[in-house]
Structure 1
Amino acid sequence: MMMVPVMSWAQSVVVTGKITSADTKAPVAGASVFLSNSSFGTSTGKDGKFTLTSLKPGQYNLVVSSVGYEDELKLISLVDAGVVLNIELKPKITQLKEVTIAPISKSDRKQALEQFKQDFIGTDENAGNCKIVNPDVLNFSYHQNKTVLEAYTDEFLLVENKALGYRIKFLLRNFKSELQTGNISYSGSQVFEELKGGKVKQERWHRKRDEAYYGSAMHFFRALYRDSLDDAGYRIYRLSRDINESRPADRNIQAHLVNARKLSRDSLIFWVNAAHDSRYTHQKFHGRFNVKDIVKSTANPNLKEVIFPDHLYVVYTKKWEANFYKDVYRSPNDLNYQTTIVSLVNNNPSIVIDKNGTIIGPSPMYEGSWSQARLSVLLPVDYTPYSTQQQFLETQALKRD
C-alpha cells in the first residue's frame, strides 16, 4: 500500500513573474527559476514569463539563473496571497579568475574529485547510491601545498540520489575543504526533482526519506517552532565550555603527523595524543531549556527567533549515535543518544526560523550528529513525512527484529 504524506498545509501559494534583460529589456527565455533547497522549479517561456504553483507558505530564496547573466537571488515570503515578480537580469561580465597556481594534473583531478565526493555528498550508505552526472563542470584547485581543495561550477552540477529518489541541480558557487582540519564550507543554490520509479521504488524512497528526516536539523527546528520537542523526542540544554589552550592548533598537529617518520618516538606520541585531545575544556551543563526560554516572537508573525547563551546542546532520544565525536561533551550518566551542539557564528545574536524548519539568514555551526549531514541525506525544505514518527519507529523496530 502506497504511503501518503501525514502533514499538510492549508494554503497553496502561486508565484508568477517575468524575467527580462536589464540592458535590452527583452524577455529572457529558458531561464531557470526555482526556490532554493526546495522541489519547486521551472523555466521561463519565450515571453520570459514563469509560474510556480502549489507552494507551501514559508520563507524562500528565489533563484533565477541563465547563461550569460548574473544569478539573481531574492528572499520572498509566502503566506496566503499570490506573489508577482518582475526581475531584471544583469549581463555577466566575463572575468578571468585570478590564477594563483598552475592547472591541476589529470591524476590530481581524479584525487580532487574523490575528495569532493566524500566531503560534498558524504560517506554513508546513501552516498554509495549517489552519482554525479556531469563531473566535468567542476573546476578544482589546490592551495597551501595541497592541503586545501577548492571547487566551483559555472552551471548546474547534477547529482542523482538513488537512495532517496531525487535528482538535485546544484549551483555550486564555492566549495572549500581544509584537508588537515576537516573543515568544509560551501555555498550555492539547489532544486530537487523527483526521480521516476515504480511502486516498490517509491515506497523504498519514502522510507529512506523519513529515515533521513526524523532526527535531522529540519525535524528539530520544525518541532521547536511548534513547541513540540517532547513529542518529537528532543531534549535541549545550555552548554558552556572554554577553548583548550594547551592543545596545539590543528595545522601544527597535522603538519607534524605528515612527517611522522622524521619524529622521535616521544615526539610522535606527543603529537598523536594532541590530535586526540578535545579542542575544549571545562565543559558543563547549566540545566535543561524549555522552548519558551529560547524561542521568541518577531515582528514577522511567520518567523521566530531562537536566542540562547553559550551553546545549545540537542539530544534526540529516538536514535542511537553510531559515531564518536571527541569534541562533543557527553554526560557520564547519559545514554548514547544522537547529540548535536549548535553554536552561533560570526557574532550572530540568534537563529531565525520559519514553520518549515528553514533557517533564514546565516546558518549556525553544528558539531556532532548534524555535522555529518551531507547531500546524501539532504531533503527539500518543503518535505512532508510519509509516516508519523511513531509509525516510522515501529517500522524500524520490526526491521531490527
Structure 2
Amino acid sequence: MIRVQTLTLAFLIFLTFSVLGQSASQFVIKGNVSDGQTGETLPFAAVFLANTTVGTVTNDKGDFVLRVPKPGSYDLIIKFAGYKTFIKSTQFFEAQTLEVNAKLEVETRQMRGVTVTAKKDEKWKRNLEDFKRGFLGTSPFARECKILNEEVIDFYFDEEKNIFEAFASEPLIIENRALGYRIKYVLEGYMVYFNEKYSSYWGYPSYEELRGDKKPRAKWLRNREVAYMGSVDHFFSSLFNNKLKEDGYMVQMAKDVEGKRYLDRNELDLYQFVKPGSTANSKRLEFENILYVTYTKELIPNHMGISVNVSGVPVSGNKQRSHFFLLEGKTYIEFEQNGYVYNPLDYLVSDYWGVEKMGDLMPIDYKNTRSANK
C-alpha cells in the first residue's frame, strides 16, 4: 500500500480548499475524523469530493462540514498523513445531511521481492521522467503541468513479475498552467505491466482554481473546453443522453481473431447496448470485443505529434480516434449523465484517449458552456 510521512505545516495550510457555493446547500456532509485505534481526533485532515473542486479540512477538534453544490454521485475522500485513505461513495439526489464519522487506520507498507529506487540519483531521475510521461501524459496541456513536490515520489521494480510501480508519500501537488488548476492528487497506485504491455494509475484528485488576470483566465476557459470536448467524460455523457452522433462521435466494433484485429467499417448504434444501471441515475454499457471511437469535431493539431495508430488498425486523416475494451471478467461500464464512471479500473483505453492523461483531465463538476447553450 502507500507509504506516508508527516505532512509539513505549509502543506496542511495549502490543503484549505475553496468550497463552491457559499449559500446554504441542500446536500451536506458533516462528521468527525479520528484515529481508529486510539480515538484521538485528527485536525487538519483533508476532506474532499474526488474529481471536483469541492473540499475542506477538519478543524482542531477533527470536525468538518462539506456542502455539495449539486446532486450526483461522489467519492468522499479523507486523507491524513500516516493513515490509509478513507473512501466512501455517496449519492445526493434528494436534500439530505449525511453524517460520516471516519475512523482512520494507520498506513503500513510491505515491500518484498522488489528493487527500491528511493535515492534521488540519476536512475531515480530517469524513472521520474518515465512516470511523468505515463501519469501526466504527453499532450500540449500535459507539457504545461508541473509536479511541485516531485521529491515525495519513489519507485519500485518487481523483477519477478516484471512490474514497475510508483508511489507518493504525500498527495502530489500539480500545477496545470494550461487549464488553470492546482490539483492535489492522492496517488493510490501507479503500475506498468511490462509483460502485459499496459499501464494503469488510480487515485483521487481535488481541483482548485488558479488565480490569474483576464488574459490567462480567458486562455484557461478556452483550453478547458478543448480538453473536455472529445474526452472520455464527454463521450459517456453523450452516450447517456443518446447524443453520440449529434456530438460528433462515430463508434465501430473490432474483434481480435488469431492475433489479427478486424474492424467493422459500419457505424455502430452503441445506444442499443445501454441498459439501466444500479441506480435510477445511472446506466450500463454492456458489450464485448473492442469499441473504436472517432471524434469528428476536433482534429489533432500537427504540433501534437501524437500517434493514434498503436493498435495497427488503419486510420485515415488526423481525426481523434481512441479504442477501449473491458478487462477480463468484466461485463459492463456503469456511468452517470455527467460522464462519471463507477468502475474506471474495469476497462482500458488506448490511442488518443491513452495519450490524454492527468494533464488533460477535467473535474466532473466542470460546466461546459457550449453544451449548456444547446
TM-score range relative to shorter protein: 0.7 to 0.9
How far residue 48 of structure 1 moved from its aligned partner, in angstroms, is 2.1
Runs of 5+ consecutive residues of structure 1 not aligned to the other structure: 1-10, 245-279, 392-401
User: Are 1:349 and 2:331 matched, yes or no?
Assistant: yes
Paired amino acid for 2:78: V
Paired amino acid for 2:169: D
Q: 1:229 to 1:104 in 2, by over 3 A?
A: same
Residue pair 1:305, 1:350 contacting (<8 A) in 2 also: yes
The 3-state SS of whatever aligns with 1:188 is strand
The 3-state SS of whatever aligns with 1:131 is strand
Q: 1:82 to 1:148 in 2, by over 3 A?
A: same
Other-structure match for 1:360:
342
Other-structure match for 1:190:
205
Other-structure match for 1:270:
none
Matches within 5 A, 1:173-184: 173-178=188-193, 183-184=198-199
How far residue 178 of structure 1 moved from its aligned partner, in angstroms, is 4.9
Other-structure match for 2:82:
68
Other-structure match for 1:47:
61
How far residue 98 of structure 1 moved from its aligned partner, in angstroms, is 2.9
Q: Which one has the bigger helix percentage?
A: 1
Other-structure match for 2:244:
229
Distance 2:230 2:216 in 1: 23
Distance 2:129 2:107 in 1: 32
Other-structure match for 1:116:
131
Matching residue within 355, 362, 377 for 2:360: 377
Distance 1:102 1:221 in 2: 39
Other-structure match for 1:310:
289
The percent of aligned pairs where both chains have the same amino acid is 29
Superposed CA deviations along residues 193-217 of structure 1, whole A, max 9, x for unmatched, are 1111111111110001111111111
Other-structure match for 1:293:
272
The 3-state SS of whatever aligns with 2:233 is helix
Matches within 5 A, 1:270-285: 280-281=260-261, 283-285=262-264
Q: 1:92 to 1:99 in 2, by over 3 A?
A: farther
Q: 1:142 to 1:73 in 2, by over 3 A?
A: same
Paired amino acid for 1:312: L
Deviating beyond 6 angstroms after TM superposition, the runs of 4 or more aligned structure 1 residues are none
Other-structure match for 1:38:
52
Distance 2:132 2:221 in 1: 24
Matches within 5 A, 1:12-161: 13-92=27-106, 94-98=108-112, 100-101=114-115, 103=117, 106-144=121-159, 149-161=164-176
The alignment covers a number of residue pairs equal to: 343
How far residue 370 of structure 1 moved from its aligned partner, in angstroms, is 0.8
Paired amino acid for 1:329: V
Residue pair 1:112, 1:149 contacting (<8 A) in 2 also: no
Residue pair 1:328, 1:368 contacting (<8 A) in 2 also: no
The 3-state SS of whatever aligns with 1:348 is coil
Paired amino acid for 1:92: V
User: Are 1:167 and 2:182 matched, yes or no?
Assistant: yes
Superposed CA deviations along residues 185-241 of structure 1, whole A, max 9, x for unmatched, are 222211111111111111110001111111111111001111111221112233222
TM-score, structure 1 as length reference:
0.78
Distance 1:102 1:228 in 2: 48
User: Are 1:329 and 2:313 matched, yes or no?
Assistant: yes
Other-structure match for 2:12:
none
Distance 1:65 1:22 in 2: 13
TM-score, structure 2 as length reference:
0.83
The 3-state SS of whatever aligns with 2:245 is helix
How far residue 134 of structure 1 moved from its aligned partner, in angstroms, is 0.7
Other-structure match for 2:222:
207
Other-structure match for 1:219:
234
Paired amino acid for 1:235: M
Distance 1:370 1:127 in 2: 13
Q: 1:130 to 1:348 in 2, by over 3 A?
A: same
The 3-state SS of whatever aligns with 1:288 is coil
| CA RMSD of superposed structures (Å) | 2.7
Residue pair 1:297, 1:305 contacting (<8 A) in 2 also: yes
Distance 2:196 2:372 in 1: 36
Superposed CA deviations along residues 44-84 of structure 1, whole A, max 9, x for unmatched, are 11232222224332222111111232221111112132241
Residue pair 2:330, 2:346 contacting (<8 A) in 1 also: no
Q: 1:229 to 1:46 in 2, by over 3 A?
A: same
Which protein has the larger Cα radius of gyration, Structure 1 or Structure 2? 1
Superposed CA deviations along residues 75-104 of structure 1, whole A, max 9, x for unmatched, are 111213224122232331545533633545
Runs of 5+ consecutive residues of structure 2 not aligned to the other structure: 1-24, 301-305
Distance 1:370 1:349 in 2: 21
The 3-state SS of whatever aligns with 2:112 is coil
